[in-house]
Amino acid sequence: MPRRFPLWITLVPLVLGVAAWALIWRGYEADFQTDLKSVLPAGATIETGGFPYRLEVRLGAMQLEQQDSALRLALTVKEATINRVPWQRDRQVISVGRSQARAALGPIPGADFVIDAPAAQASVRLDGRRIDRLSAVWQQPEIRTGLFEAPLKAGLFEAHLRETPATGPAPGPTPGRRSPLPTQVQLVLNGTDVRISQGAPLALALTGELTAPAPITSLATWQRGGTGEIRSAVLSDRTGEVARLSATVSADDARLRVSGMVETVCPASVRAAIAGAPAPAEQRSRKPEQIAISGTLPGGLVAAPRDPGKPPPPVRGQEPPCPRMR
């Protein structure tokens, strides 16, 4: 008859394995707490959990601020949860309840942004001190800025950002790109049920980048010759694309300067929205019209007027009228 081993002997390897992993996990936990203490307000209580897998911290109400001579960032949250896979120190996943994010470019009047949302999620992946990827999604946010009079609301709004530090000229021509400088930051914005003031719900899809002669370490380094390149900003409704913008944005100490082109099947609505005029009743044209825009923000953006000598464009009477832009 074969000899039987006691049950406790068969459990020894499992117990030793759990004990070894607990020791390793505690080391990851200490690293997590150290990283959080470097960014959270002094005195913030940090209690980690999640053993045996994901590191997790739950935080109460707090306010984070960062400021230099030109740029101020602030985040106020009612509650937050931060998660990290133990062996991926460069990646964080953050969920927050009611929050308000604020950014202000001090030297430029009106260049401040506020996002209020009942809930938001974000993920951050770092490469040293560089942002390899930052993604944020806000649920039902309200977005306000001094650059525009009208606020913006959305059902869902997301932003994705990557730093791509480079020096020297751009690698080559790219559709929608005018700057010869290398790309330092890539930006993607998407929104659903986007309403500008009293406008109809629209979808937004924007791709852009910040260019500069050298990696951007402050607002001042970007202002010295850098540009913001909006490759494509598309507004659409259920019928299809309403307007598409490409533009270049630059900054001095007083204003943001804008130069670009809008291609749209609702030219009268676009001109009225830019001018802050009442929304007209307009049918979609059969052929998109290109409208040059230029000027400064806040308050100085203008659209090229329509040539009164040209006949009215043919319209698509069988399709819904143009949506109200704002």
Q: Structurally, how many domains does the chain consist of?
A: 1
Range(s) of the domain holding residue 260? 54-303
The verdict on residue 9 lying in a domain is no
The verdict on residue 6 lying in a domain is no
Write down the mean pLDDT value for the chain.
85
Task: List the one residue out of 291, 249, 250, 255 whose CA is nearest residue 273.
Answer: 291
10 falls in which pLDDT band (50, 70, 90)? low
Helix (H, G, I), strand (E, B) or coil at 132: strand
Contact (CB, 8 A) for 156 and 168: no
The verdict on residue 19 lying in a domain is no
The verdict on residue 276 lying in a domain is yes
Query: Which of the residue ranges 106-115, 224-233, 298-307 would you say has the lowest mean pLDDT?
Result: 106-115
* CA distance to 26, 114, 157, 196, 277, per residue, from 193 (Å): 45, 19, 9, 10, 22
- Position with higher pLDDT, 176 vs 305: 305
The verdict on residue 321 lying in a domain is no
The verdict on residue 314 lying in a domain is no
Mean of the pLDDT values across residues 161-190? Answer: 76
Distance from the Cα of residue 105 to its chain's centroid: 16
The per-residue pLDDT for 201 is 95
The verdict on residue 23 lying in a domain is no
pLDDT tens, position by position, 205-236: 999 998 988 887 777 777 778 899 999 999 99
Residue 41 has pLDDT above 80, yes or no: no
Distance CA 84, CA 95 (A): 12
The verdict on residue 310 lying in a domain is no
Mean of the pLDDT values across residues 164-169? Answer: 75
Phi/psi of residue 28, nearest 5 degrees: -60, -40
Per-residue DSSP letter, 40: S
Task: List the one residue out of 231, 180, 233 whose CA is nearest residue 209.
Answer: 231
